[in-house]
Amino acid sequence: MKITIRSVAEEAGVSIGTVSKVINNSGKISEKTRKKVFQAMQKLNYKPDAAAASLRGKRTKLIGLLVPDISNPFYAGIARSIEDRSHEVGLNVMLCSTDNNTEKEKNYLALLTSQRVDGLVVASAFRSTVLLQETIDRGIPSVLIASEIPQLSINTVTVDDYKGGYLATSHLLDLGHKDIAIISENVRSNEPRLAAYKDSMREAGIDVKPEYIMKTEATIQKGYECAKKLLLLDEKPTAIFACNDLLAAGVIQAAKELELDLPRELSVVGFDNTVLSTTTAPMLTTISQPIKQMGAKVVDLLRQEMEESKGHKERLLMAPELIIRQSTASI
């Protein structure tokens, strides 16, 4: 027997019109009713024809998600939280890994536009903001997550990176460390983390050594390479703040290779509180980002933009938290 919209209405105990409104995201429907309809659709394995709806000028229920690298546990967590919330509200997600490459960003934007996505969530760097501005100008609702582009009028959800950097550096200073190095990623979100590191050091009356500041890409290998350089200096640091957990894992790897006793001879702080932070040995002290809440909020902001485009854009700044584990100790 063919499953129709009437079948869904009967299963959910609502009218056909209510099911239609839920499918097309139109009208005022309570969250309870919306959930009941989606559960009925799932039970009956009913799938609306998105392509046909698109041709009628209706929504496809598809949103695009651009991340730099899905193999990075932080962006995997972001993607999962966005997918979970999207599923709750009846949206599907098309995921694209850009490697922060401008050409890939351009190609994926073209693909997503051709698929008539209803909205766009952007975590990729977009160093060429013209591409993203053109997408916004086409009327495609867009939201940034875990990154800021001040020159664009766009809803943004991010963590307070400056406060996170300050918490990380202050923790090491409180433990008595003075020779503190930093390894940051060359992306916008790491700039305030680096600024907070410098400010914390200066407030403590400690001169920042230029050789203690390193910028690189967000991989374990790059963290390892930078740490090796730092730990082979004549005056090597006693602590390293790595601006994400991937880099921190590389630091730990390098320290072990050099037979340093962690954390007695070297303290390490990461950033993100991903699954990596509890799988390293020792387990990683890190700065936690509220990934689940960020993902849910960005989807809600996107839905709001899809339903009623407003001139005013929101900039939500969420609070980071210091998670102390085994990779840091008093000097």
Asked if omega into 192 is within 30° of 0 (cis), the reply is no
Specify the pairing of strand 92-97 against strand 142-145: unpaired
pLDDT at 51: 43
Tens digit of each residue's pLDDT (9 = 90 or more) over 236-272: 999 999 999 999 999 999 999 999 999 999 999 999 9
Segments in 115-233 forming alpha helices (H): 129-137, 161-174, 190-203, 220-231
Reported as a pLDDT band with limits 50, 70 and 90, residue 5 is confident
CA torsion angle for 38, 40, 41, 45 (degrees, to 10)?
140
H/E run at residue 293? helix 291-307
Q: What percentage of the chain carries pLDDT values higher than 70?
A: 94
Largest CA distance in the chain: 77
320: pLDDT strictly greater than 80: yes
- Kindly state the DSSP code that residue 308 receives in the 8-state scheme: S
Tens digit of each residue's pLDDT (9 = 90 or more) over 22-58: 776 566 778 788 788 888 887 888 866 544 444 445 6
Query: Comparing 6-10, 23-27, 51-55, 149-153, which segment has the lowest mean pLDDT?
Result: 51-55
Does residue 179 contact residue 231 with C-beta atoms inside 8 Å?
Answer: no
Segments in 45-138 forming alpha helices (H): 50-55, 73-88, 102-114, 129-137
pLDDT at 124: 85
CA torsion angle for 137, 142, 146, 151 (degrees, to 10)?
20
pLDDT at 58: 62
Does residue 65 contact residue 123 with C-beta atoms inside 8 Å?
Answer: yes
290: pLDDT strictly greater than 90: yes
pTM for this prediction:
0.80
In sequence order, which residues have a C-beta less than 8 Å from that of residue 321 and are 6 or more positions away?
167, 273, 287, 288
Q: What percentage of the chain carries pLDDT values higher than 90?
A: 67
